[in-house]
Structure 1
Amino acid sequence: MTKEFDYIVVGAGSAGAVIAARLSEDPGVRVLLLEAGGPDRHRLMAMPLAFFQLLRRPEVNWGYVTEPEVHADDRRLPVFRGKTLGGSSSINGMMFTRGDPRDYDQWAQMGATGWSFEDVLPYFRRMESSWRGSSERHGDSGPIGTQRHPMENQVCRTLLETARRQGHEVSDDYEAGYPEGFGAPDFSIHKGRRASTARGYLQPAAGRPNLVIATGAQATRILFEGHAAVGIEYIRGSQRHSARATREVILSGGAYNSPHLLMLSGIGPADHLREMDIKVKVDLRGVGQNLQEHPSVATAYQPCGEMDFENAIRLDRIARSVLWWKLSGKGLPATLPLTAMAFYKSRPNLERPDLEALFLPTAMDARVWFPGLMKGRGHVFTTSTIILRPDSRGWVKLRSGNPLDKPRIFWNLLGSESDRALMRHGLRWMRELLASPPMNEVISGELKPGAAAQSDADLDAYIRATIATAHHPTSSCTMGTGSEAVVDSQLRVYGTERLRVADASIMPVIVGGHTNAPSIMIGEKAAAMLRGEPGATGRTGLDSETSREGA
């Protein structure tokens, strides 16, 4: 059965939920939101502390795995993406950073007109209900509530004092200026519970008669009349359905699913589509290319004494904490185990930080324990080193022409020697920091990779064996004007009509921060464009077709 709407949004994630909710604010507009996953009702979803357990739950995850990563010992690495209302905002680590303002200015310099920091800041403010209140950089009445991270423990104070002695700044608000130095991010947590786009945007909108939210509905093909997108074919249960869009179709499936659906619909690199026996509608060679991720390597240290977090997750203590959290929204379950973080430069002459460090008072595989009954992981201090602007690029390709086959994903981690050298630098920087006073009074030794790993070869071997990512995929449907661009600065897919992509896949380059807040911003700005809001296409308000070399 075919039904007709004004707009069809594919993917109810960090951007798609925003677009559907904002468009449906106009009662004269009919909106269909398709989500392959189910409702955001998993028992672990609301509790911030349960993030590590939730991330791996197959019932709310797409279950993707990479191709063998040739520079990471040919390992196939898990790809965590949310398959539920709210998408990855419903399962992520809730670190709410925007990246550097100069990241967005770079987008504009690369041809993304109307996407400078000055252009996007109103949409960052629009989404946010900041615990800090309203200011030039923060909003106080948006759908996504943010929470301050507690930093009162002794380990944090010692780490920050060490940073000061090393000449690093300590920041109280990474979004107030240019994010650099030590501190803590805001978290997308409201009253002690996860603030996803499903909760912030869709729950208030769900009762609108002009918004249909279809869960368990996986899009399989974009329907075209000529080069104009007129609808979506999708599978729900065992039945195949189609829905028509009289105005536009918006893809918000993320950096993997948006290019996947485009290619299934005949839009992508012609040679690859022919190889998959798919008729080429638009030869758009950038679809699925330019995939970017934040490489991450964890190291572990032995603390001199006990870590408060390990003591707090003893079975009887955590049970009381969870009960108190359910009643009040307060306590340990309302937070994440983060001591502090840092954005820093590998070289002082860089314009922007190129590395991030996370410090955790626990092992990555920490578990609830009880004496004589369940063994815990023990007292461990963990760090992560993250490359913010990697040079390596990966890709997304079809596995076959069957829309239910998972896409092929290749991150190409460490594909560039510059990335390998930068990661080595980061691990050595971490060692030096933690060996400096007064932090050396807290840390007694290095567990992983271990003090014996000193040479480049030793560190490279450890990096290859342990590297993962921060789960921030972007840029596989790049916005811009070059021959590799997929969408123009108004997110319209080149070579088509009435079709846009609005999610992290459109970022020309990955931001130097966490990607959830920028993805929500993209959703807000896309919705403003579709609604024809003044200035939504940039400070000039121009609404002309974007030209592109080779288009």
Structure 2
Amino acid sequence: MFAERATGAFAVCIDTGPATRYTQTFKGKGWRMADEFDFIVVGAGSAGAVIASRLSERPEMRVLLLEAGGADRHALMSMPIAFFQLLRRPEINWGYATDPEPYADNRRIPVFRGKVLGGSSSINGMMFTRGDPRDYDQWAQMGNRGWSFDDVLPYFKRLENSWRGASARHGANGPISTRKHPTDNALFHALTEAARRLGHRINDDFEADLPEGFGLPDFSIHKGRRASTAKRYLDPVGDRPNLHIATNAHATRILFEGNRAVGVEFLQDGAIVQARAQREVVLSGGAYNSPQLLMLSGIGPAEHLREMGIDVRVDLSGVGQNLQEHPSIHSLFKPRGQMDFEREIRFDRIARSVLRWKLTGNGIPATLPLTAMAFYKSREGLERPDMEALFVPTAMDARVWFPGIVAGRGPVFTASSIILRPESRGWVKLRSNDPRDAPRICCNLLAEPSDLALLRGGIRWQRALMRQAPLDALIGEELRPGADATSDAELDTFIRANVGTAHHPTSSCSMGTDDRAVVDPQLRVRGVEGLRVADASIMPVIVGGHTNAPSIMIGEKAAAILLGEDRVAGPADQLAA
């Protein structure tokens, strides 16, 4: 192996034999590629970027970070308001869709995942919530020692640079900056006042205590720009000589010697290349791609692997099972007058706003179109909120418009109902033994009747809120599903035809101590050595909130475990000297 200078960077030429020579530009300056690395991290997303950055803080550790997508350079990526547009860009989105969902009219439902440095943190909605503290206590109660809320809170604080400053619940020195969302609009005040009159709590910090009530979350935005893990964890350390980041490097299988993972094979520029890890391989591909790579490597349900023509290394039935998602349904209402957001995205106005944003980081491009959110209980007696509501002053397909040239979407108010703790469980399977084929995904949305009943109740809950003063003075008729849809059967028909997901997939490589667990509480894959999984797929139960901040926390805790810094990691997890 050798390194040679390329224009503006270093190009690394790896020779693994006559047929597999390739040249790839890596992020980083002034380093020479080593024959082996200490750690290989597969996936530079919400967790993987964190792990690689933290491991490379030890200068003696050589770290290779593999990312199947490209660099995070899309022109819209840093602009928060462009979130909806990013989801439609195939060059930065894997473009996955589920198999026909059997309980949702056999529809194939799009699932958005980032195909870029930073993963989904580079294309998501930037809502920064942790879930309920009792979610993590539940993980610990399920046998996952070290994952209670008290155990994970230090890692949440470590990752955060809160606009609120340091406190018992917030960090102020971490890489991920958070920003307060504007509340200076009539609709927010009407919503919260209507909620207060209906007996709901108004909450100005969902992370300070228990996340219940109406308010606004913090957003992962730094100086008006998206605070992805690529921007906040990788960009500042890109010149570390011991951190090597390979983009467009699609992992095809894990390499083993005996029972131990010793490296990763990946496809790049048409060549198959192998990289070796002296210490460990860490999978951070997310809830779809981490189980896919395990199965491609012979770790998973034996019968399914044999069907795919893959030799079984470890018969691990839980790989790809227990997939959990937050089901979501949108109700649409006609506002009494034009919404502020619709007015602001007229072409001439948004053009001026973008110019101001480029210069100052301020203005509407630095925000998202969210009026308010709520965590609430669908019935009395529940320990934790089981539903979320989002209120958006536009349609999900809103577009820039200008009179007489391009028609706008028109004034619409969207109220979304989201199940925080669904009972339905899905799966991830291989489509074939070709690593380039997308995995098969089935969320099994609405498989459990209780989930259908919760969404039905959510629609009725939204209706009652919209009729409450002073909100009723701003929100008019119901456009979807429509005021005439009143019976259970009518609402169920609407839900099955329109239900989607919140794009929060988890739990397909669940952490635990029983035979269905894929990883143990130290994130080690059962049945092999030198291999861990660290991303949202390890959640035994999905959290009652948005999943990006918990995924970053998992990355922080995983790095601490690997480096022997986690206070609950046992002696077997201490890094060898």
Residue 381 (structure 1) aligns with: 413
Superposition deviation, residue 262 in structure 1: 0.1
Superposition deviation, residue 205 in structure 1: 1.4
Q: 1:498-509, aligned counterparts within 5 Å?
A: 498-509=530-541
2:179 to 147, 150, 157: 147
- Partner of 1:160: helix, strand, or coil? helix
- Partner of 1:290: helix, strand, or coil? strand
Superposition deviation, residue 387 in structure 1: 0.2
Superposition deviation, residue 228 in structure 1: 0.2
Task: Give yes or no for contact 2:37–2:276 (8 Å, CA) kept in 1.
Answer: yes
User: Structure 2 CA distance, aligned partners of 1:79 and 1:165?
Assistant: 37
CA offsets per residue over residues 63-109 of structure 1, 9 Å max, x none?
Answer: 11110011111111111000100000000000000000000000000
- Partner of 2:321: helix, strand, or coil? coil
Superposition deviation, residue 444 in structure 1: 1.5
- Partner of 2:253: helix, strand, or coil? strand
The amino acid across from 1:177 in the alignment is D
Residue 399 (structure 1) aligns with: 431
1:266 to 290, 293, 298: 298
The 1:51–1:28 alpha-carbon spacing in structure 2 relative to 1, beyond 3 Å, is same
CA offsets per residue over residues 243-278 of structure 1, 9 Å max, x none?
Answer: 000000000000000000000000000000001010
Residue 83 (structure 2) aligns with: 51
Residue 92 (structure 1) aligns with: 124
- Partner of 2:287: helix, strand, or coil? helix
Residue 8 (structure 2) aligns with: none
Tell whether 2:374 aligns with 1:342. yes
- Partner of 2:275: helix, strand, or coil? strand
User: Structure 1 CA distance, aligned partners of 2:174 and 2:443?
Assistant: 34
1:212 to 240, 244, 248: 244
Tell whether 2:523 aligns with 1:495. no
User: Structure 2 CA distance, aligned partners of 1:384 and 1:369?
Assistant: 24
Tell whether 2:268 aligns with 1:236. yes
2:497 to 465, 471, 490: 465
Superposition deviation, residue 542 in structure 1: 3.3
Residue 472 (structure 2) aligns with: 440
2:570 to 537, 542, 548: 542
User: Structure 2 CA distance, aligned partners of 1:405 and 1:227?
Assistant: 27
Task: Give yes or no for contact 2:261–2:528 (8 Å, CA) kept in 1.
Answer: yes
The amino acid across from 2:529 in the alignment is E
User: Structure 2 CA distance, aligned partners of 1:544 and 1:297?
Assistant: 46
Task: Give yes or no for contact 2:129–2:549 (8 Å, CA) kept in 1.
Answer: yes
User: Structure 2 CA distance, aligned partners of 1:14 and 1:413?
Assistant: 25
Residue 318 (structure 1) aligns with: 350
Residue 366 (structure 1) aligns with: 398
Question: What is the TM-score when the length of structure 1 is the normalising length?
Answer: 0.97
The amino acid across from 2:419 in the alignment is I
Residue 548 (structure 1) aligns with: none
Residue 224 (structure 1) aligns with: 256
Superposition deviation, residue 305 in structure 1: 1.6
The amino acid across from 1:383 in the alignment is A
Gaps (5+ residues) in structure 1? Answer: 546-551
Tell whether 2:274 aligns with 1:246. no
Residue 298 (structure 1) aligns with: 330
1:112 to 128, 144, 150: 144
Superposition deviation, residue 543 in structure 1: 3.8
2:387 to 355, 361, 364: 355
Q: 1:276-287, aligned counterparts within 5 Å?
A: 276-287=308-319
CA offsets per residue over residues 345-376 of structure 1, 9 Å max, x none?
Answer: 00120000000000011111111111111111
User: Structure 2 CA distance, aligned partners of 1:450 and 1:544?
Assistant: 59
- Partner of 1:53: helix, strand, or coil? helix
Residue 549 (structure 1) aligns with: none
1:40 to 72, 78, 82: 72
- Partner of 2:342: helix, strand, or coil? helix
Superposition deviation, residue 544 in structure 1: 5.6
- Partner of 1:58: helix, strand, or coil? coil
The amino acid across from 1:157 in the alignment is H
User: Structure 1 CA distance, aligned partners of 2:532 and 2:126?
Assistant: 27
Aligned length in residues: 541
2:110 to 75, 78, 86: 78
1:16 to 38, 48, 52: 48
User: Structure 1 CA distance, aligned partners of 2:363 and 2:451?
Assistant: 39
Tell whether 2:217 aligns with 1:185. yes
The 1:452–1:176 alpha-carbon spacing in structure 2 relative to 1, beyond 3 Å, is same
Residue 125 (structure 1) aligns with: 157
User: Structure 2 CA distance, aligned partners of 1:193 and 1:523?
Assistant: 22
The amino acid across from 1:359 in the alignment is F
CA offsets per residue over residues 410-431 of structure 1, 9 Å max, x none?
Answer: 0000000010111101110000
Superposition deviation, residue 300 in structure 1: 0.3
1:513 to 524, 545, 553: 545
User: Structure 1 CA distance, aligned partners of 2:562 and 2:503?
Assistant: 29
Tell whether 2:507 aligns with 1:475. yes
Residue 333 (structure 1) aligns with: 365
1:167 to 191, 199, 207: 199
Residue 234 (structure 2) aligns with: 202
Which deviates the most, 364-373 or 326-335?
A: 364-373
1:412 to 428, 438, 444: 444
Gaps (5+ residues) in structure 2? Answer: 1-14, 17-34
Question: What is the TM-score when the length of structure 2 is the normalising length?
Answer: 0.93
Alpha-carbon RMSD across the aligned residues, in angstroms, is 0.8
The amino acid across from 2:390 in the alignment is L
User: Structure 2 CA distance, aligned partners of 1:103 and 1:166?
Assistant: 27
Superposition deviation, residue 483 in structure 1: 1.4
- Partner of 1:104: helix, strand, or coil? helix
- Partner of 1:234: helix, strand, or coil? strand
Residue 533 (structure 1) aligns with: 565
Task: Give yes or no for contact 2:557–2:566 (8 Å, CA) kept in 1.
Answer: no
Tell whether 2:339 aligns with 1:307. yes
Question: Structure 1 residue runs of 4+, over 3 Å off?
Answer: 541-545
CA offsets per residue over residues 485-513 of structure 1, 9 Å max, x none?
Answer: 00000000000000000000000000000
- Partner of 2:437: helix, strand, or coil? coil
